[in-house]
Amino acid sequence: MASFPKTRLRRTRSHDWSRRLVRESALTPDDLIWTMVVSGTADPTEPVAAMPGVERLSVAEAAKAAKRARDLGIPAIAIFPHIDPALKDADGTEALNPDGLVPRAIKAMKDAAPEVGIICDVALDPFTDHGHDGVFEGGRILNDETVEKLVAQALVQAEAGCDVIAPSDMMDGRIGAIRGALDAGGFADTMIMSYAAKYASGFYGPYRSAIGSAALQGDKKTYQMDPANAEEALREVGMDIDEGADFVMVKPGIAYLDIVARVKDAFGVPTYAFQVSGEYAMIMAAAQNGWIDGDRVMMESLACFKRAGADGVLTYFAPKAAELLNG
Ligand code: PBG
């Protein structure tokens, strides 16, 4: 081990050029996945109260945003639907509508900017009147019945031109079932990004109002992971890779960087982190109060995902961060 005074680690920190030379990781627009809320209402944009700077976008505005992503060098957009409450039911039937909001958004965005990858969430919660991600019966979420619906939802998305199917539901066995159905349906090239280690987290709070999900009956602890667990995350990720996931994700982000690092170390596969709505809201709220420098903390937080080993970050900050990175 190097020792003082022969070694002074401050030496290489003393100039901008030497700091750049010893920098171990870098953030570029290529690392950003823009998380975007789309809405079927007539208004082109609607503000999201708990997420200053984030707006729900109409399909036409989402198509414009796809062009903006292309121009900013952002490789992909992950879309999340705000569904009209009148279309919600216990089974989340609207999730399977081939002319629904998500398929319409996919088509419009791919038409506008075919170079930008489109990632779609697979889960029933935006479409159910109980707010759960799956089939809810007798106070329980039924696993295998849910997987059947998720498979159908994924096929609707693939048919509409979605590039990456992203199951966020945490049912057991859904990656294998979706991979099999995509292959059998002629979608062998459609990719899967698994929300592999997704925790039952309070950090999702603002998202529920962003997509207008129904008031949740109970909680999601019987399917999303316990924040106390790490070994279990490695098992979840390992199983999803085995079932055919092309990309794996850890969610939430900043408080779970140990999981990101361990997943990347253990498997070496393309690994992503989701900087979720509550993380965005916390940074923005403190910035708006003048308590932190918002741009600085945004860039620092994104850079930390890269240092931890993430290959990219799903973030509501994507357009703003890309603008700063592009100078
Ligand atoms: C739904 C889903 C959630 C998020 C993405 N997909 C919420 C949840 O699981 O309750 C959270 C995104 C965010 O907080 O930004 N399956």
Q: What is the pLDDT of residues 219-243, one digit of tens each?
A: 999 999 999 999 999 999 999 999 9
pLDDT, tens digit, 9 for 90 and up, residues 106-161? 999 999 999 999 999 999 999 999 999 999 999 999 999 999 999 999 999 999 99
Asked if pLDDT for residue 186 goes beyond 90, the answer is: yes
Mutate to test the pocket of ligand 1, among 33, 133, 222, 282 (most ligand atoms within 8 A of CB): 133
> What are 48-75's pLDDT values in tens digits?
999 999 999 999 999 999 999 999 999 9
How far does the centroid of ligand 1 lie from the alpha carbon of residue 14, in Å?
Answer: 42
Task: Indicate if the pLDDT at residue 1 is higher than 90.
Answer: no
Atom of ligand 1 nearest to the CA of 198: 9
Residue 148 and residue 128: Cα distance in Å, rounded?
Answer: 16
Alpha carbon 241 to chain centroid, angstroms: 18
Identity of residue 218: G
Whether residue 123 has its Cβ less than 6 Å from ligand 1: yes
d(CA 100, CA 94): 7
The 3-state DSSP class for residue 60 equals helix
Strand partners, 148: none
Q: How far apart are CA 80 and CA 56, in angstroms?
A: 9
* CA R_g for the chain: 20
pLDDT over threshold 90, residue 45: yes
Note if the pTM is more than 0.75: yes
Query: Average pLDDT, whole number, for the chain?
Result: 97
277 and 50 Cβ atoms separated by less than 8 Å: yes
pLDDT at 215 > cutoff 90: no
The CA-CA-CA angle for residues 163, 308, 324, to 5°, reads 70
Residue among 61, 64, 160, 154 at smallest CA distance from 103: 160
Beta strands in 6-89 (DSSP E): 32-39, 45-47, 55-57, 76-82
Ordered structural domains, the chain, with CATH? 27-325 (3.20.20.70)
pLDDT value at residue 213? 87
**In whole angstroms, what is the distance from residue 11 CA to residue 18 CA?**
9
Q: Is 31 in the pocket of ligand 1 (CB under 6 A)?
A: no
Cβ(168) to ligand 1 under 6 A?
A: yes
Ligand 1 touching residue 223 (CB < 6 A):
no
Catalytic residue IDs: 198, 251
Tell me: pLDDT of 173 over 90.
yes
Instruction: Determine the atom of ligand 1 nearest the C-alpha atom of 35.
Output: 15
- In percent, the amount of the chain with pLDDT more than 70 equals 100
pLDDT surpassing 90 at residue 41:
no
pLDDT at 42: 84
Residue 162, pLDDT above cutoff 90: yes
Confidence band, pLDDT 50/70/90 cuts, at residue 217: confident
The C-alpha atoms of residue 165 and residue 109 are separated, in whole angstroms, by: 16
User: Is the per-residue pLDDT at 103 higher than 90?
Assistant: yes
Interval between CA 207 and ligand 1 midpoint (Å): 6
Residue nearest (by alpha carbon) to ligand 1 atom 8: 204
List pLDDT tens digits, range 299-313. Answer: 999 999 999 999 999
pLDDT at 257: 98
* Contact 125 CB / ligand 1 (< 6 Å): yes
122's enclosing H/E stretch is strand 117-122
Mean pLDDT, residues 8-29 taken together: 98
272 CB within 6 A, ligand 1: no
